[in-house]
Structures are given as C-alpha cells and as structure tokens.
C-alpha cells in the first residue's frame, strides 16, 4: 500500500523534525523544506498528496506560496500560523488553503487534521464518477473540475467539496453547522469564520456577487441555499 506523501514547509528546524518524526511514525512519507523560495519547485518534484505551509518563512512567505501553487495543485493545503488572528486565517483561506492550525500545534491535533483532509479527498476519488450540470455550470467529481460558461474554475479542495455538497442538494437550506461538519469532520464551535469565508470565495469564483448573491443564497439564521435555475 502506497504511503501518502506530505511536504512540510517550516523554518523552525526543531519543530519541523518533531512533526516529521511524528508523521513518519504514523506511516506518512515526509519531506521538509525550510526556505519558502524552494517550496514551489519541490511541489512538482516531490508530488505531495498534502502540503503543510508555515506562514512566516524566509525566501517566500506561506501565503504567497499557497496563492501561487493553488491553481495547479489539487491536493489539500494546511496552513500553520503562530498568530491567533483572523487576518492570517482568512487570508489563507482566500488564497486557497483548506484548513489551518494555530502554533504551537499538538502533533496529535495536526495528525487528526491531516487524516481528515486526506480521508475526504480519498473518499471522493473512490466514489462513482458523477457529472452535475445546472445550465452553464458543470461539476465533474471524477476529475474534480468545475466549468462555468465554458471556463474552467480553479477551486481549492474544500471549495470544490463545498460546491459539490450544496449542488447535490438544490433547493434545500443547508445550515452552517451541517456544512462545517461535512467538510471538516468536527463540530462547529459557533465562532469559526471558515465557512463564511469559504462561501464568500466560492461566490466570487462563480461570478455570484457576495453582496447580491442569487446563485448561492444566504438564508439568514438558517444557512445557505443553492438555486438550481440561476445558472
């Protein structure tokens, strides 16, 4: 059985080696890079299944790396941030990250997040190929591609998963709690802004103005609604 490969971009050598050893003990193949400037070429050389990016890096910061590789890297991206601030978290999600962990992260918490991300990607890849079409919108679950009006729309792992979930339930109001649990396999704590950012980004990429959304509607106090005939 092939072991999943993880690229860890972290300049704190002690932390990087600790995480590397912990993940290798969990049967992952881990490659560590301490300089952000070297991370992008490594993606095409190492072909990781998942990338862990520290935000503060020498050479090139993690947010810039995430933004640059997201259009071509289809696997999950997990951000590490030492600052418990919405600024880093929101920017990471806007640039294409799938999840984030606040440093110092407990290795078992990091491992749980990694397994959840890889499990969902693996689960979807093993499902029968499904082609969902609403007007000019086409969603292919096999290739994980989204086409809108003939143009391919680059989405992060969780952006695609979110779209797939709501498009599979047209006309149904899906609560934030439900979507959060489906995407992250953990309960919504009532404070996390991840889902709001994710929906906002998805609307922008699908040309659905967040201030006047008509394709993915916000039903205040209840959740989100995918409008089938708006495409």
For 184-198, give the DSSP string.
HSS---S---HHHHH
The CA-based angle 64-81-14, given to 5 degrees, is: 105
Alpha helices (runs of H) in the chain, residue ranges in sequence order: 13-25, 39-46, 62-69, 86-94, 107-126, 157-167, 176-184, 194-205
CA-nearest of 227, 119, 107 to 169 is 227
pTM of the predicted model as reported, rounded to 2 decimal places:
0.64
Contact 33, 8 (CB under 8 A): yes
The class level of CATH for 5-125 reads alpha beta
Q: Are 96 and 197 in contact (CB under 8 A)?
A: no
Tokens of 59: 């050479």
Least Cα distance to 139 among 219, 202, 194 occurs for: 202
Q: Can you state the angle between helices 157-167 and 176-184, rounded to 10 degrees? A: 130
Q: Where are the domains of the chain?
A: 5-125, 128-230
Tell me the pLDDT of the chain (231 aa) as tens digits.
Answer: 578 999 999 998 998 999 999 999 999 999 999 999 999 999 989 999 999 999 889 999 998 999 888 878 878 899 888 765 555 666 667 777 888 888 877 888 888 889 888 877 664 555 555 778 888 899 888 777 889 988 888 887 778 888 988 998 888 888 888 888 887 766 665 556 677 778 888 888 888 876 666 888 888 888 888 988 888
User: Among 1.10.10.10, 3.40.1830.10, 3.90.1110.10, 1.20.1530.20, what is the CATH number of 128-230?
Assistant: 1.10.10.10
CA torsion through residues 154, 160, 163, 164, sign: positive
């Amino acid at each position: 059985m092939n072991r999943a490969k993880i690229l860890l971009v972290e300049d704190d050598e002690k932390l990087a080696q600790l995480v590397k050893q912990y993940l290798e003990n969990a049967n992952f193949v881990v490659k560590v890079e301490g300089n952000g400037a070297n991370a992008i070429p490594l993606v095409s050389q190492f072909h990781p299944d998942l990338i862990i990016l520290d935000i503060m890096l020498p050479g090139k910061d993690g947010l810039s790396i995430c933004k640059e590789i997201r259009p071509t890297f289809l696997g999950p991206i997990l951000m590490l941030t030492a600052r418990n601030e919405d600024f880093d978290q929101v920017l990471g999600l806007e640039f294409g990250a799938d999840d984030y962990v606040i440093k110092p992260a407990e290795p078992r918490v990091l491992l749980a997040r990694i397994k959840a991300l890889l499990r969902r990607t693996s689960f979807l890849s093993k499902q029968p190929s499904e082609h969902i079409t609403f007007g000019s919108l086409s969603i292919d679950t096999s290739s994980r591609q989204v086409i809108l009006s003939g143009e391919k729309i680059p989405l992060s792992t969780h952006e695609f998963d979110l779209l797939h979930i709501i498009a599979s339930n047209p006309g149904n109001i899906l609560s934030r709690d439900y979507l959060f649990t489906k995407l992250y396999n953990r309960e919504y704590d009532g404070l996390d802004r991840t889902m709001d950012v994710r929906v906002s980004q998805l609307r922008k990429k699908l040309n659905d103005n967040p201030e006047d959304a008509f394709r993915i509607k916000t039903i205040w106090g209840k959740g989100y609604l995918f409008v089938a005939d708006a495409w």
